[in-house]
């Protein structure tokens, strides 16, 4: 267990050695982690504030919050590196990650030990640059929302005791899970989901660096399937390019590749299913010129047995129910001609199904349930 | 002598019969130094485990087939003892964390840390990392998944994780975004036929068209089931000609009987009889969801179109309640009563409005 709590630097240096050994095995999310705060995309406000504090070399306690994969961890790591430089990083920055044992005693011991040693400033680093190296240490508590209330309460005291020589940075997804007395001691920074434009720029940069061709539709699919989570988008991109690279002959990444990796149900399957349950959909022409079925979609609502047969077929294909319902939801809610009344009824059943699936319900039963009730709602409205 | 399912289980990616595109991709991935964490998902009997086995073989060669099986004991922080079966070779380790229920996190952390710290023994191995296969990944607790999230990044150099699940619905997003998702769909009719014919050829006999048809119809895309049934049939009648009766498993016949009882009579006495039968099924360890679905399936085959949707609706509702509740029998029984009353009212043409909202 103790291994997890060693200061960040030991880990980083180990990692760097390994990376030298196998650079191609490095996940791109690590490889392209922003090195400076200027590289952090899309979080203009936060970066502007932090830039100022970088200049004045002073820092408040901070609380970063926001949805996954939008640069919280990266920002604080980059900021610390810019403050202290590579040499001092080890002695000045302590990173504690969640998901491991992080009870009160551990928090207390680790932080006490680390904060007790007085910082010594060496401003000129071995790489020839000078760093501000202000006279305090930074303690990063990543994924802080999974810390117990008791541990958080204990932290309050520690923050005060060592206030002179430490700055804390709490990082979390859900700000409401941080106890108020702790949150109120920090300046809060909200990290927004990545704007599509910034995500696109970042993805293109990575593609260029890895010299892989990337078409517009593929980028758009990456962004829409990852929903503002750049880590996911980058991982999908890496997986897709792996597959494209290894296929013989070598192919470019297609929209379908990305969808498959992201677990998205193919449009054709969705349109088919929607047709059987009475939701008529205009089939779009494949954006990247993918072949589109010639046969027109028949939106004729059928009966219970047809719906059940279709559901069985889908289950056999192995698509995940929650993904299917997510896509069906978008189809129905954005549908151009369905009546509002029908849509409302569908929304109700989709919500019920989502809850049921979260409770571990049988997927086949619930896809069928949704199918039949949507079908009823739509045919009632005719 | 082993069963056909095992005897003719493909060992290498080249031997696999269907989803050729997928096999090719897996083969190329196994050859590259850049093998990712993976999540295999799809319905049961579609061949996920077989495919994982073949992938391991492609990664490390025949050595992965030398297996040893250990019964390991783990200790929870509160000093409780947990038993777990661990199947391993020099190159990989396979566990089913759901065997220890809510303590899966403890087990996963211990095992992964242990493996991460040991070096690959075989210095000539094609890959430097070891693989950990986690079966039944759908039932990993939230805690265990959160623990995996960090571990997967940290130990990337020494370990690759292969998750095997029926669906991705119950896995948290951070896990899914760290894996290459591999969907293994059930084989199609034609694909299943090819496999059956292949086995027949190896066993040196002819498989009549009619026989393979009925086997495949019965199996609902489950290749394992199809092969088991195939072998059983062959033992019954050597030439596999004439009309074949595929013996249903006892519990299935039993469920059908229950379904028929429900439709024959709708009285308190009948509820009691049905209940005794349900108990019988549960005490034979037939999963309650399977019992419910099988009975419901049979019932909707035999009722008026107007009733089908309602019967399945209540099946869906009671199935969730059953999962969250403690006493499975209560919910099964409640559903039976519901179905009886729906049926009876329909029969006597009683207006049902107001009955639906429960
Ligand atoms: N704003 C951003 N600019 C540039 N890269 C980003 C940005 N956000 C995320 N990334 C990329 O995604 C990866 C993950 O980001 P990071 O670890 O900072 O996410 P996080 O906000 O801490 O997520 P979580 O809440 O899941 O911990 C980074 O390595 C980087 O490659
Ligand atoms: Mg983070």
Tokens coding A212: 């892989």
Read out DSSP for B48-116? HHHHHHHHHHHHH-GGGG--EEEEEEEE-TT--EEEEEEEE-SSEEEE-GGGGGGGHHHHHHHHHHHHH
Is there a single domain that holds both residue A252 and residue A274?
A: no
B201, B291: one domain: no
Q: Is residue A3 part of a domain?
A: no
Contact A342, A381 (CB under 8 A): yes
- pLDDT value at position B331? 95
Encode burial over B283-302: b for 16+ CB neighbours within 10 A, e otherwise.
Answer: eeebebbebbbbbbbbbbee
Task: Please name which of A41, A58, A153, A50 lies closest in space to residue A103, comparing C-alpha atoms.
Answer: A153
Q: Is A194 on the interface with B (CB under 8 A)?
A: no
The tens digit of pLDDT for each residue in A158-193 reads 888 888 888 999 998 889 989 999 999 999 999 999
Measuring CA to CA, how many Å separate A85 from each of A48, A55, A64, B43? 20, 15, 22, 52
Note whether B293 and B324 are within 8 A (CB): no
Q: In what order do the strands lie in the sheet with A187-190?
A: A93-96, A137-141, A166-172, A62-65, A187-190
The answer, for B316 touching chain A at a CB cutoff of 8 Å, is yes
How far from B232 is each of B10, B246, B303, CA to CA, in Å?
Answer: 21, 9, 33
Average pLDDT, chain A: 82
For residue B296, the Cα-to-chain-centroid distance in whole angstroms is 20
Closest CA to A194 of A85, A98, A305, A69: A69
Verify that A315 and A343 share a domain, yes or no.
Answer: yes
A56 and A101, same domain (yes or no): yes
Please give the distance, rounded to the nearest whole angstrom, from the Cα atom of residue A26 to the centre of ligand 2. Answer: 18
Beta strand B180-183 with B38-41 is parallel
Question: Is A170 strand, coil or helix?
Answer: strand
A382 vs A316: CA distance, rounded Å: 32
A173 in the same domain as A40: yes
The span from the CA of A343 to the CA of A331, in Å, is 10
- Chain A hits for B312, Cβ within 8 Å: 308, 365, 368-369, 372
pLDDT of residue B243: 67
pLDDT for B77 beyond 80: no
Task: State how far residue A125 is from chain B, nearest Cα, in angstroms.
Answer: 28
Three-state DSSP class for B120?
coil
Share of chain A above pLDDT 90, in %: 43
| pLDDT > 70? residue B100 | yes
CATH of the domain at B344: 1.20.272.10
Question: What CA dihedral angle connects A9, A14, A17 and A23, to 10 degrees?
Answer: -90
Q: Are residues B53 and B179 in the same domain?
A: yes
Angle at A361 between CA A359 and CA A363, to 5 degrees: 135
The answer to the question of residue B14 being in a domain is yes
pLDDT digits (tens, 9 = 90+) for B49-74: 999 999 999 999 988 899 999 999 98
* Residue A26 shares a structural domain with residue A164: yes
B242 lies in some domain: no
For residue A10, is it within any domain? no
Residue A73 resides in a domain: yes
CATH of the domain at A337: 1.20.272.10
For residues B28-40, average pLDDT: 86
Instruction: Check: CB of residue B41 under 8 Å from CB of residue B48.
Output: yes
- The model's confidence at residue A3, banded by pLDDT at 50, 70 and 90, is very low
**ipTM for the complex shown:** 0.86
Given a contact cutoff of 8 angstroms between Cβ atoms, the answer to whether B292 and B315 are in contact is yes
A274 shares its domain with A163: no
Contact A242 B34 (CB under 8 A): yes
Q: Which domain holds residue A246?
A: 196-262
Do residues A31 and A128 share a domain? yes
Q: Is residue B163 part of a domain?
A: yes
Q: Which of B141, B165, B183 is the last residue of a domain?
A: B183
Q: What does the alpha-carbon distance between residue B166 and residue B146 come to, in Å, rounded to a whole number? A: 20
Question: A66 and A186: one domain?
Answer: yes
Same domain, B35 and B92: yes
Residue pair A154/A106 in contact by the 8 Å Cβ criterion: no
Any domain includes B260: yes
* Domain match, A335 and A217 both: no
pLDDT above 60 for A301? no
Residues B106 and B193 in one domain: no
Alpha-carbon dihedral B136, B142, B145, B151, rounded to 10 degrees: -150
Last residue of a domain, one of A171, A190, A209: A190
Domain-ending residue, one of B183, B206, B226: B183
Please report, for the domain that includes residue A209, its CATH number: 1.10.8.60
A359 touches chain B (CB under 8 A): yes
Q: Is the CB of A228 under 6 A from ligand 1?
A: no
Distance CA B132, CA A144 (A): 28
Choosing from B162, B183, B204, the residue where a domain stops is B183
**Chain A residues lying within 8 Å of B324, measured CB to CB:** 359-360
Determine if the peptide bond prior to A62 is cis (ω within 30°): no
A340-344, B167-171, B234-238: range with lowest mean pLDDT: B234-238
In a domain, A1, yes or no: no
CATH number at residue B81: 3.40.50.300
CB-CB: which of A18, A68, A243 is closest to B174?
A: A68
Is residue A219 within 8 A of residue A230, CB to CB? The reply is no
Structural tokens at position A58: 């002073």
How far is it, in rounded angstroms, from Cα A96 to Cα A163? 18
Is pLDDT of B259 > 60? yes
* Cα separation, A375 vs A279, whole angstroms: 8
Going by alpha carbons, the residue nearest to atom 6 of ligand 1 is A71
What kind and span of H or E run contains A189?
strand A187-190
Same domain, B155 and B207: no
Q: Which of A167, A163, A168 is nearest to A147 (CA)?
A: A168
Residues B212 and B170 in one domain: no
Give the confidence band of A8 by pLDDT, cuts at 50, 70, 90. Answer: very low
Phi-psi bin for B79: left (phi > 0), alpha (psi -120 to 50), beta? left
Identify the band that residue B248 occupies on the pLDDT scale cut at 50, 70 and 90.
confident
The answer to whether residue A304 sits within a structural domain is: yes
- Strand B68-75, strand B81-88: pairing: antiparallel
Shortest Cα distance from B56 to chain A (angstroms)? Answer: 18
- Kindly state whether A269 is in contact with chain B, defined as any CB-CB distance less than 8 angstroms: no
Q: What is the pLDDT of residues A192-223, one digit of tens each?
A: 999 999 999 999 999 999 988 989 999 999 99
The residues facing A202 across adjacent strands are none
Residue A148 scores a pLDDT above 90: no
Q: What is the dihedral of CA A93, A99, A103, A106, to 10 degrees?
A: -30
Confidence of residue A90 (pLDDT cuts 50, 70, 90): confident
Task: Tell me whether residue B167 is in a domain.
Answer: yes
Q: What is the Cα Rg of chain B in Å?
A: 24
Which tens digit of pLDDT belongs to each residue from B264-322?
Answer: 999 999 999 999 999 999 999 899 999 999 999 999 999 998 899 999 999 999 999 99
Q: So what's the pLDDT on residue A228? A: 85
Among A190, A207, A241, residue at a domain's last position? A190
Whether residues A95 and A211 fall in one domain: no
Mutate to test the interface with A, among B29, B154, B169, B216 (most CBs of A within 10 A): B169
Whether A268 has its CB under 8 Å from any CB of chain B: the answer is: no
Instruction: State the ligand closest to the CA atom of B178.
Output: 1
Q: Are B175 and B139 in contact (CB under 8 A)?
A: no
Q: What is the CATH number of the domain that holds A119?
A: 3.40.50.300
- In the numeric block, the tokens 């103790």 are attached to A2
Cα B38 to ligand 2 centroid, rounded to whole Å:
22
Q: How far is A247 from chain B (nearest CA, A)?
A: 6
Q: How far apart are CA B247 and CA B229, in angstroms?
A: 8
C-alpha of B16 from chain center = 19
CA of A98 to the centre of ligand 2 (A): 10
Q: Which helix (H) or strand (E) holds B117?
A: helix B104-117
DSSP alpha helix (H) spans, chain B = 4-7, 20-31, 48-60, 104-117, 142-154, 173-176, 189-202, 209-219, 223-236, 250-264, 268-283, 288-301, 305-324, 328-347
* Of residues A99, A236, A356, nearest to B149 (C-beta): A99
b/e burial code for range A331-365 (CB count within 10 A of at least 16 → b): bbeebeebeeebbebbeebbebbbebbeebbbbbb
Assess whether B113 and B198 both reside in one domain: no
Of the ranges A108-112, A318-322, B78-82, which one carries the lowest mean pLDDT score? A108-112
Helix axes of B189-202 and B209-219: crossing angle, nearest 10 degrees = 130
Among B36, B153, B305, whose Cβ lies nearest the Cβ of A304? B305
Give backbone dihedrals phi and psi of B157, rounded to 5 degrees, phi first: -70, -35
Q: Are residues B112 and B219 in the same domain?
A: no
Residue keyed to tokens 């119809």: B217
Residue B174 shares a structural domain with residue B224: no
Residues B96 and B164: their CA atoms lie apart, in Å, by 10
Question: How close A316 gets to chain B, by Cα (Å)?
Answer: 5
The β-bridge partners of B14 are none
Same domain, A112 and A151: yes
Given a cut of 90, whether residue B36 has pLDDT beyond it is no
- Taking a C-beta distance cutoff of 8 angstroms, is the pair B322, B280 a contact? no
User: Do the domain assignments include residue A232?
Assistant: yes
Tell me what pLDDT residue A276 has. Answer: 93
Contacts of B313 in chain A (CB under 8 A): 369, 372-373
Q: A302 and A255: one domain? A: no
Q: Is residue B241 part of a domain?
A: no
How far, in Å, from the CA of A229 to the mean position of ligand 1?
Answer: 8
Average pLDDT over residues A22-40: 82
Residue indicated by tokens 């980028």: A219
**What range defines the domain where residue B84 resides?**
4-183
Q: Is residue A335 part of a domain?
A: yes
Of chain B residues 48-77, which have a CB less than 8 A from chain A? Answer: none
Tokens of A282: 């205009």
Q: Is residue A12 part of a domain?
A: no
Using CA atoms, how far apart are residues B312 and A17, in angstroms rounded to an integer?
A: 59
Spatial separation of the C-alpha atoms in residues A183 and A249, rounded to whole Å: 55
> Does the beta carbon of B172 lie under 8 angstroms from any beta carbon of chain A?
no
Q: Which residues contact A208 (CB under 8 A, 6 or more apart)?
A: none
**What pLDDT does residue A121 have?**
61
Please choose from A33, A71, A76 the residue to mutate so as to test ligand 1's pocket, defined by most ligand atoms within 8 A of CB: A71
pLDDT over threshold 60, residue A287:
no
For residues B285 and B328, membership in a common domain is answered with yes
The Cα B40–Cα B179 span in angstroms is 9
Tell me: do B44 and B129 sit in the same domain: yes
Domain count within chain B: 3
Residues in chain B within 8 Å Cβ distance of A105: none
Task: Please indicate, yes or no, if residue B8 is contained in any of the structural domains.
Answer: yes
Structural contact between residues A49 and A197, judged by C-beta atoms closer than 8 angstroms: no
Which residue, of A262, A291, A308, is where some domain finishes?
A: A262
The span from the CA of B307 to the CA of B295, in Å, is 15
- Could you tell me the distance, in angstroms and rounded to a whole number, from the CA of residue B34 to the centre of ligand 2? 24
Whole-angstrom distance, CA of residue A76 vs CA of residue A82: 10
B194 and B279 together in one domain: no
Number of H helices, E strands in chain A: 16, 5
Distance, CA of B348 to CA of A363 (rounded, Å)? 34
Is the pLDDT score of B242 beyond 80? no
Identify the pLDDT of residue A291: 44
In a domain, B141, yes or no: yes
**What domain count does chain A have?**
3
Ligand 1 lined by A43 (C-beta under 6 Å): yes
From A27, A70, A140, mutation site for ligand 1 pocket: most ligand atoms within 8 A of C-beta: A70
Is B221 part of the contact surface with chain A (CB cutoff 8 Å)?
Answer: yes
């Amino acid at each position: 267990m103790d291994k997890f709590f060693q200061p960040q630097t030991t880990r980083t240096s180990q990692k760097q050695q390994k990376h030298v050994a196998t650079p191609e095995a490095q996940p791109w999310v690590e490889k392209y982690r922003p090195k400076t705060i200027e590289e952090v995309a899309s979080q203009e406000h936060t970066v502007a504030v932090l830039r100022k504090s970088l200049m004045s070399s002073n820092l408040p306690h901070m609380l970063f919050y926001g949805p996954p994969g939008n640069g919280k961890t990266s920002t604080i790591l980059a900021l610390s590196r810019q403050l202290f430089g590579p040499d001092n990083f080890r002695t000045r920055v302590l990173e504690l990650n969640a998901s491991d044992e992080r009870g009160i005693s551990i928090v207390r011991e680790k932080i006490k030990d680390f904060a007790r040693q007085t910082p010594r400033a060496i401003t000129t680093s071995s790489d020839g640059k000078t760093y501000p190296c202000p006279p305090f240490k930074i303690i990063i508590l990543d994924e802080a929302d999974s810390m117990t209330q008791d541990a958080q309460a204990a932290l309050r005291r520690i923050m005060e005791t060592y206030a002179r020589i430490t700055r804390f940075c709490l990082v979390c997804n859900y700000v409401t899970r941080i106890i108020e007395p702790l949150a109120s001691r920090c300046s809060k920074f909200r990290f927004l989901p990545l704007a599509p434009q910034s995500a696109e720029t970042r993805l293109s940069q990575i593609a260029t660096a890895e010299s892989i061709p990337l078409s517009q539709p593929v980028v758009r699919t990456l962004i829409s399937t990852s929903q503002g989570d750049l880590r996911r988008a980058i991982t999908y991109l890496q997986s897709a390019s792996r597959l494209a690279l290894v296929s013989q002959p070598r192919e470019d990444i297609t929209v379908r590749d990305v969808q498959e990796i992201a677990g998205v149900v193919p449009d054709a399957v969705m349109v088919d299913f929607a047709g059987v349950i009475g939701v008529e959909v205009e089939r779009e022409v494949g954006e990247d010129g993918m072949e589109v079925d010639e046969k027109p979609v028949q939106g004729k609502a059928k009966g219970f047995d047809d719906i059940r047969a279709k559901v069985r077929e889908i289950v056999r294909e192995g698509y995940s129910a929650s993904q299917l319902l997510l896509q069906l939801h978008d189809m129905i809610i954005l549908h151009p001609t369905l009546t509002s009344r029908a849509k409302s009824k569908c929304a109700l059943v989709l919500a019920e199904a989502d809850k049921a699936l979260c409770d571990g319900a049988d997927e086949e039963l619930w896809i069928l349930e949704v199918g039949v009730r949507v079908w009823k709602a739509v045919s009632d409205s005719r | 002598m082993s069963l056909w399912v095992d005897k003719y289980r493909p060992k290498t990616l080249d031997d696999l019969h269907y989803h050729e595109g997928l096999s090719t991709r897996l083969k190329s991935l196994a050859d590259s130094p850049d093998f990712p964490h993976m999540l295999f998902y799809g319905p049961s009997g579609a061949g996920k485990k077989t495919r994982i086995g073949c992938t391991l073989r492609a990664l490390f060669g025949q050595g992965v087939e030398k297996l040893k099986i250990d019964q390991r004991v783990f200790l929870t922080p509160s000093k409780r003892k947990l038993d777990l079966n661990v199947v391993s070779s020099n190159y990989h380790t396979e566990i089913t964390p759901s065997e220890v229920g809510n303590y899966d996190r403890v087990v996963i952390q211990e095992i992964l840390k242990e493996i991460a710290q040991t070096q690959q023994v075989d210095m000539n191995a094609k890959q430097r990392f070891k693989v950990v296969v986690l079966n039944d990944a759908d039932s990993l607790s939230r805690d265990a998944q959160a623990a995996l999230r960090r571990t997967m990044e940290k130990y990337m150099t020494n370990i690759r994780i292969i998750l095997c699940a029926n669906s991705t619905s119950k896995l948290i997003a951070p896990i899914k975004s760290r894996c290459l998702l591999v969907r293994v769909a059930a084989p199609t009719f034609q694909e299943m036929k090819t496999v059956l014919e292949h086995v027949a050829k190896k066993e040196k006999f002819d498989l009549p068209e009619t026989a393979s048809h009925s086997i495949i119809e019965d199996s609902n895309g489950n290749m394992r089931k199809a092969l088991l049934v195939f072998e059983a049939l062959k033992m019954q009648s050597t030439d596999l000609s004439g009309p074949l009766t595929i013996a249903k498993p006892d519990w299935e016949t039993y469920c059908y009987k229950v379904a028929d009882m429900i439709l024959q009579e709708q009285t308190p006495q009948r509820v009691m009889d049905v209940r005794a039968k349900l108990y019988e099924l549960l005490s034979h360890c037939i999963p309650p969801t399977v019992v419910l679905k099988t009975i419901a399936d049979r019932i909707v085959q035999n009722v008026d179109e107007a009733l089908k949707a309602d019967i399945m609706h209540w099946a869906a509702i009671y199935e969730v309640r059953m999962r969250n509740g403690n006493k499975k029998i209560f919910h099964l029984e409640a559903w039976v009563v519901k179905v009886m009353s729906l049926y009876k009212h329909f029969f006597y043409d009683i207006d049902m409005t107001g009955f639906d909202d429960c």
